[in-house]
Amino acid sequence: MIVALVFMIPSSGISLAFPALTGTIIDRIIGSDAPSELVQTGGIFLGLLSLQAVVGYFVSVTMSRTTERVIAFLRGDLFHHIVRLPLSHLTTRRVGELSSRLSSDLTQIQETFSFSILQLLRQSVFLLGSITLILMTSVQLTIPILIGTPLVVAAAVLIGRRIRRLSTKTQDALARTSTIVEETLQSINAVKSYVQEHYEAHRYDEALHENATLAISGARLRAIFVTFIIFTIFGGIAAVILYGAKLVASHEVTMGQLLSFLMYAMFVGGALGSFAELFGQIQKSLGASVRIRELFDVPIENVGEDAPPITLTSIELRDVHFSYPERTEISVVNGVSLSVENGQRVAFVGESGAGKSTTAALMQRLYEPTRGMILYDETPASMFTLAQVRRNIGVVPQDIVLFGGSIEDNIKYGRPDATHDEVREAARGANALDFIEKFPEGFKTLVGERGIKLSGGQRQRVAIARALLKNPPILILDEATSSLDAESERLIQDALERLMSNRTTIIIAHRLSTVRTCNTIYVFADGTIKESGTHEELLAHAGLYRRWCDLQFLR
């Protein structure tokens, strides 16, 4: 890019020679010079024009190629940074906002790099070169232009600050519109079920109105700037014409010199006139850069992907407390202590919001405890990298999220290097093989956005197959069978009994029928463990578990 800009400077300098050559030609025509001298001057003119065209092509292509690569790198770098941010930070931001940073904000920067910076440098060369040349031509004619230039610079500084603030607000408003689109389309089934099309359209219209209002305010400021420049600069040029005509009449300057001077003066006016739009574009990019820099300034997780593989088979929590960063005053987990030994099958039961899923997230180190300690194989969690811990834990979440590729791609997400036979075997173990083979494309069937083309039970079985393919030492099932019919659930439970032998398994469940055979059942309430024991031990005394069993099994 530096090489292209360096070449652009003499290219712009060549343009500054055209007014002088034009003035020379006019003077020679008026002076009735020999035709050979006119041809010589015209040849120089044509040669410089050709040279400028070649250099201009090189500069434009080089800048475009470099800009595309730079923006692609920046966009990739930003995405790599976003996906490595801690979950505690990502949950505080909306998906549409992050998408807008990757698309709209970076597009603003791209336009600046590919056009505005190049034009700004070119116009700066025109401005400085033209002022120098008109000073050499006539100091008297230069005075009106020199008076207008400081006024324009001062206005640019004052108005530019306001434009930058408005541009930042405009980019934020644009991000909100992207967020609404993202949320609406992701939840389109709910939107249509509740007949809320009008509400979502109205919400989007309000966001668009806010964005348009801010954009119009910025455009109004830029229009004021441009109008001021036109009035100042071209008013000065008009004064130069009148004053120059007087000098020509008194033979102090020639007609060609006056014409050259006027062309240079128009270069100055055109350069200052373009500064308004270019300066506004750069301010908009600076506003976008502020938001992108805010993301880059958030520290990423040190996942430790290059750490050597290890095997972990047990988890222990000692007096663990946790509050979400955005709600530090509310404690979600309060002094939880539990132990899951190698090969054991334990269950977390309790009402919604009791802290079961959050405790499981802490076990995966998706969050770090506010207080307390987590140990894996009797070793503090700090001794392992996040990647080492998470690679040993497979999860089938309650809210199944599939990617928009094929069924095979989604299952192989658990282990990308798996063979087709291994994928097929995992699907068989999850009781998913039958319905997959009924599709005409089989494992190549596309699941659609977030798996929308599959039923809830089918999505859960694909997710179970993904976890089985990963074959982790520790498995977390968060309501993994809640959407299956009775027959499929029976087959899944049989598969789990067979495939989970000698594997540490944590089952999070509301349906107590799925946890009767667990080695230990932990009863959660208000973010802590109220009871623990086997199914029979918990039924032996009156407590929460016994009351829930009575509600589920006797009614």
Residues ≥6 apart with Cβ < 8 Å to 303: 84, 385, 386, 387
CB atoms within 10 A of CB 20: 18
Residue with the larger pLDDT of the pair 93 and 505? 505
Q: Across 258-262, 362-366, 538-542, which has the greatest mean pLDDT? A: 362-366
pLDDT at 128: 79
Partnered with residue 525 across adjacent β-strands are 528
Tracing tokens 């973010």 back to the chain, one arrives at 527
DSSP per-residue codes, 31-68: TT--HHHHHHHHHHHHHHHHHHHHHHHHHHHHHHHHHH
Lowest mean pLDDT among 340-349, 393-402, 435-444: 393-402
Q: Give the dihedral of Cα atoms 451, 457, 463, 468; nearest 10 deg.
A: -150
* pLDDT tens per residue, range 115-172: 777 777 777 777 777 777 777 766 766 766 666 666 666 766 677 667 767 777 777 7
**Is residue 321 pLDDT above 90, yes or no?**
yes
Tell me how far apart the alpha carbons of residues 314 and 363 are, in angstroms, rounded to a whole number.
Answer: 10
pLDDT at 462: 85
Partnered with residue 505 across adjacent β-strands are 345, 475
| Side-chain-side CA neighbours of residue 504 (13 Å) | 19
pLDDT at 372: 93
Among 345, 340, 410, 323, smallest CA distance to 378 is for 340
Tracing tokens 């959050």 back to the chain, one arrives at 358
Stretch 497-503: mean pLDDT: 69
Give the model's confidence band at 315: pLDDT under 50 very low, under 70 low, under 90 confident, else very high. very high
> Which SS3 state, helix, strand or coil, does residue 322 take?
strand
Stretch 58-78: mean pLDDT: 83
Among 181, 172, 208, 179, smallest CA distance to 288 is for 172
Q: Is the dihedral of CA 480, 484, 490, 492 positive or negative?
A: negative
Cβ burial 289-302 (10 Å sphere, 16+ → b, else e): bebbeebeeeeebe
**Is residue 486 pLDDT above 70, yes or no?**
no
| Side-chain-side CA neighbours of residue 410 (13 Å) | 30
Stretch 260-282: mean pLDDT: 72
Cβ burial 401-432 (10 Å sphere, 16+ → b, else e): ebeeebbbbbbbbbbeebeeebbbbbbebbbb
The CA R_g of the chain, rounded to the nearest whole Å, is: 35
pLDDT at 27: 67
Tell me how far apart the alpha carbons of residues 429 and 99 are, in angstroms, rounded to a whole number.
Answer: 37
Q: Could you write out the three-class secondary structure of 408-438?
A: HHHHHCCCCCCCHHHHHHHHHHCCCHHHHHH
- The chain-wide mean pLDDT, for the chain, equals 79
**Is residue 373 pLDDT above 90, yes or no?**
yes
Stretch 354-363: mean pLDDT: 90
**Is residue 374 pLDDT above 90, yes or no?**
yes
Tracing tokens 């009775």 back to the chain, one arrives at 486
Partnered with residue 171 across adjacent β-strands are none
Using a cut of 0.75, tell me whether the model's pTM lies above it: no
Give the model's confidence band at 550: pLDDT under 50 very low, under 70 low, under 90 confident, else very high. confident
Residue with the larger pLDDT of the pair 195 and 484? 195
CB atoms within 10 A of CB 83: 11
**Is residue 325 pLDDT above 80, yes or no?**
no
* Residue 511 contacts residue 339 (beta carbons within 8 Å): no
Stretch 347-362: mean pLDDT: 88
pLDDT at 555: 41
Among 305, 164, 289, smallest CA distance to 221 is for 164
Stretch 264-275: mean pLDDT: 71
Tell me how far apart the alpha carbons of residues 347 and 518 are, in angstroms, rounded to a whole number.
Answer: 6
Residue type, 64: S
pLDDT at 42: 67
DSSP per-residue codes, 103-135: IIIHHHHHHIIIIIHHHHHHHHHHHHHHHHHHH
Tell me how far apart the alpha carbons of residues 465 and 424 are, in angstroms, rounded to a whole number.
Answer: 9
**Is residue 367 pLDDT above 80, yes or no?**
yes
pLDDT at 396: 81
Residue with the larger pLDDT of the pair 151 and 62? 62
Q: What are the angstrom distances between the C-alpha of 116 and each of 74, 78, 276, 279?
A: 18, 23, 11, 8
* pLDDT tens per residue, range 513-523: 778 888 899 99
Partnered with residue 521 across adjacent β-strands are 347, 533
Residues ≥6 apart with Cβ < 8 Å to 19: 133, 259, 260, 261, 263, 264, 267
**Is residue 483 pLDDT above 70, yes or no?**
no
* Residue 95 contacts residue 146 (beta carbons within 8 Å): no
Stretch 355-384: mean pLDDT: 91
Partnered with residue 461 across adjacent β-strands are none
Percentage of the chain beyond pLDDT 70 is 81
**Is residue 317 pLDDT above 90, yes or no?**
yes
Q: What are the angstrom distances between the C-alpha of 381 and each of 341, 367, 377?
A: 16, 12, 9
> Which SS3 state, helix, strand or coil, does residue 251 take?
coil
Stretch 214-234: mean pLDDT: 75
